[in-house]
Amino acid sequence: MGRRRAHHPACRTARPITWRPVTELVSPQAEAYAEAHTSGVDGQLAEVASWTQSETAAPQMMSGLAEARLLEALIVASGARHVLEIGTFTGFGALTMAAAVSDGGHVTTLEVDEETAAVARRHIAASEYASRIELIVGNALETIERLPGPFDLVYIDAGKADYPAYYEAVMGKLSERGVIVADNLFRAGLVLDSSVDDAGTQGMREFARRVHEDERVHNVMLTIGDGVMLAWRRPAGG
Ligand SMILES: C[S@@+](CC[C@H](N)C(=O)[O-])C[C@H]1O[C@@H](n2cnc3c(N)ncnc32)[C@H](O)[C@@H]1O
């Protein structure tokens, strides 16, 4: 994953974190205003975010501040205890969610790349919430099959071509009042350009269509960050 240096994040002073918008689909002024009025991160989470920004080749893969606070709000408001994250990267999302689940709750996070997983493991080990997180290395589609669930919140944030398959794989493992959160619905604007048809962009379009047409769920697509989809079972009579 293009790690340039291998400092342990706990040994570094956190540098300022730049929550750059992934797209300019929303006006930069609105993005800046929203960021200025969104709770920032501090402590070990800030260390991990700062480390990811300075030491990885693709820091934009890390969840943004708005996504992180949205995940936290959903977990706190719903009392979610069993969380599944598909796509760990350096551990920022898993650590954010682990801090939000109540005592006895846990986050299972899935990462395909061994080297990336090793970085995330170091960040998780340095966290006071380490005992709440299980990191499983392997292709998420195979791993999910083995996970019993049910999950109160599933965060989909991995291979873009596989989003429709992730969705089908987790639907049957979602708790009755569970919520699916998926990142990168805009794919930095590529989904809106009809001349673009790479596998990842097609996967994201198909995911958006499938969720929206799925009679089992209600959904909302939010224009925060790089586009976030929320989906949950239709309430009885809804
Ligand atoms: C966008 S990053 C995840 C960011 C993370 N959720 C966060 O909050 O910072 C996507 C990660 O998914 C991993 N990934 C891609 N395909 C995968 C797969 N099939 N199974 C598991 N992980 C996968 C990538 O190696 C990468 O680390």
pLDDT tens digits, residue range 58-105?
Answer: 999 999 999 999 999 999 999 999 999 999 999 999 999 999 999 999
Read off the pTM.
0.92
**Which tokens in the block code for residue 3?**
């790690």
Sequence spans of domains, the chain: 64-233
Calculate mean pLDDT across residues 127-147.
Answer: 98
Distance CA 191, CA 208 (A): 10
Pick the more confident residue, 152 or 11. Answer: 152
Confidence at 185, pLDDT banded by 50, 70, 90: very high
Q: What is the DSSP letter of 38?
A: S
Calculate mean pLDDT across residues 148-167.
Answer: 98
Pocket-testing residue among 48, 53, 61, 63, ligand 1, by greatest number of atoms within 8 A of Cβ: 61
From the CB of 110, is ligand 1 less than 6 Å away?
Answer: yes
Distance CA 182, CA 212 (A): 13
Instruction: Count Cβ neighbours within 10 Å for each residue of 197-224 and write b for 16 or more, e otherwise.
Output: eeebbebbbebbeebeeeeebebeeeeb
From the CB of 142, is ligand 1 less than 6 Å away?
Answer: no
Q: Using the mean position of ligand 1's atoms as its centre, give its distance from the Cα of residue 2 in Å.
A: 14
Q: Does the CA dihedral 68-70-76-78 come out positive or negative?
A: negative
CATH topology of domain 64-233: Rossmann fold (3.40.50)
Pocket-testing residue among 67, 113, 119, ligand 1, by greatest number of atoms within 8 A of Cβ: 113
Calculate mean pLDDT across residues 3-24.
Answer: 54
From the CB of 180, is ligand 1 less than 6 Å away?
Answer: no
